[in-house]
Chain A
Amino acid sequence: MLVVGALVLSGWAIWRGVEQHTLSGTVLVVDSSYLGLTPGRTCSGENGYDDLRASAQVVLTDGEGATLSTGRLSRGEFDGVGCVFSFALEDVPRADFYSLSVASVSRGQLQYSYDELADGDWSVQLSIGDD
């Protein structure tokens, strides 16, 4: 009986375990309004990207629309190319598909499969603007 229990536990651990991930990412806003800015300076979205700013919400849902994790955009920083915001979504459980929305709902959602995120080390780099 003990052996059977151990084997069942092993099967659970092999199949799923306590799989949880931290999905990290960045949003790079490229716009001519940042020309002349020194790298490292604080910035925020401008000229139609006003919703991309510090503390804007980031939401990750699964294929059924259930919220899996939420986070906030960090303070924007000019990285030499554009204004970059970072975020980290903690305790992301396994799902077949994920939907990611950043800041304004009107920007829509980005769809990812589990394999895509796993292949990308659970990191996504988003870019918007003149790039």
Chain B
Amino acid sequence: MRLPRKFTADAAAGLLLIGAAVVLVATPYDGGSCTNVVAAYAVPTASVSAEDRPDKPRALADAQRAVTTANAALAELETERFEVEELQAAAQAAREAAAEAQSDLWAMPYSDYSSDSYSAEWDVDIAESAVESAESWLEYVQESAADTSGWSIYTQDDVADAQADLDEALADLSEAESALAQAESEDAARESEAENAEATAEQLDADADAAEQAAVDAATDLADRQSSAEERLYSAQERVSQLQAQHDRAIAEWFHEERVAEDEATASNNVRASCRENGAWRAGVALLDVALAGALVIRRWMPRLSRLPWRTR
């Protein structure tokens, strides 16, 4: 079968035009950056599917709370330090009071009351000796006055004088004994007072010892608890530091990856824009090709179309 020449030329031109249109629309272009024209318009705008920023790790929050707790414990212990200082001040005051009491003990005049008593005893001895002399003298004078031989030199007047001397010696003795009793009583009172003072000084010393021990115990206990709290604080701070560094690294990594993803999205959108720009040209030319091919078909088939039933003219 042999086709008409005109038909063959139109068909060949039409096929070339359609083929060119197909190539323009359906094949990759721009060095393969664009798959085809349809795809250039079908591809949506690239956007970064933002991954969530890394949350603060629970362990970091826990460690930060531990730091806060340890700081609060240390602050509370700091208030207890004032109580310990008060105990130390009280112990120091007790020690000073005890030292003062001891000092007062050494300052008491033991020698005074001893000499007073000794002196009174001495006075009694002298008075007794005087009484004995007076009694001996009275006895001698009485015997002499009773001698009636005429040789006696003492009279009843002398006896009366000797008796008066004896009475005076007895009175002195009585006075000396009374003074001795008084001195001994005063000595006893002073000795009792000294014993009381010594007992008080010992009590104050014991109180000072107890107060000092209480202050030392409180200070030791406080130091132990402070040391423990500080250890907990340092441990928590170190953990916070480590976890914070890890978290910072995670944030930095996330930020970097987000930035890279944004760059990729920007590049993809740039390619999409240039594909659309060139694709619009290619689509336009393809449309022109198709239009021309259509015109060729119409030219070839127009005579037959006029004979169709819906063509009345």
Contacts and interface: CB of A to CB of B under 8 A. Distances in A.
Interface of A: 2-3, 6-7, 9-11, 13-14, 17-22, 24, 26, 39-40, 79-81, 84, 86, 88, 94, 114-115, 118-123, 125
B240 to A, nearest CB: 17
Contact of B252 (A26, A39, A94, A114): A39
Contacts of B16: 3, 7
Contact of A13 (B32, B260, B271, B282): B282
A120 B140 CA distance: 159
B33 A14 contact: no
Given A7-B20, A20-B277, A79-B255, A118 B31 contact: yes
B76 interface: no
Give the 10 A-B CB pairs with smallest separation, nearest first. Answer: A80-B252, A123-B267, A10-B20, A39-B255, A118-B31, A80-B255, A22-B270, A80-B256, A79-B259, A121-B267
A86 B265 CA distance: 13
Nearest to B30: A19
Q: A3, A14, A18, A84: which has the most chain B beta carbons within 10 Å?
A: A3
B13 interface: yes
Interface of B: 13, 16-17, 20-21, 23-24, 27, 29-33, 251-256, 259-260, 263-264, 266-268, 270-271, 273-274, 277-278, 281-282, 285-286, 288-289, 292, 296
Nearest to A94: B31
B225 to A, nearest CB: 36
A103 to B, nearest CB: 19
Mostly helix, strand, loop or mixed at chain B's interface? helix
B273 A81 contact: no
B270 A2 contact: no
Contacts of A2: 292
Given A79-B252, A79-B256, A123-B266, 9 more contacts: A6-B17, A17-B278, A26-B263, A81-B252, A84-B259, A114-B31, A119-B32, A120-B267, A122-B270
Contacts of B253: 80-81
A86 B30 contact: no
Contact of B278 (A6, A19, A22, A81): A19
Contacts of A94: 31
A118 B30 contact: yes
Contacts of B252: 39, 79-81
B146 to A, nearest CB: 134
A115 B31 contact: yes
A93 B254 CA distance: 35
Mostly helix, strand, loop or mixed at chain A's interface? mixed
Nearest to A15: B29
Q: B27, B31, B268, B292: which has the most chain A beta carbons within 10 Å?
A: B31
A24 B33 contact: no
B271 A21 contact: yes
Contacts of A115: 31
Contacts of B260: 125
B271 A122 contact: yes
Contacts of A121: 33, 264, 267-268, 270-271
B287 to A, nearest CB: 10
A120 B33 CA distance: 9
B281 A21 contact: no
B28 to A, nearest CB: 10
A14 B267 CA distance: 24
Contacts of A40: 255
A9 B288 CA distance: 10
A7 B266 CA distance: 36
A24 B259 contact: no
A29 B17 CA distance: 53
B244 to A, nearest CB: 12
B251 A80 contact: yes
Given A39-B255, A94-B31, A121-B33, A18 B278 contact: yes
Contacts of B24: 10, 13-14
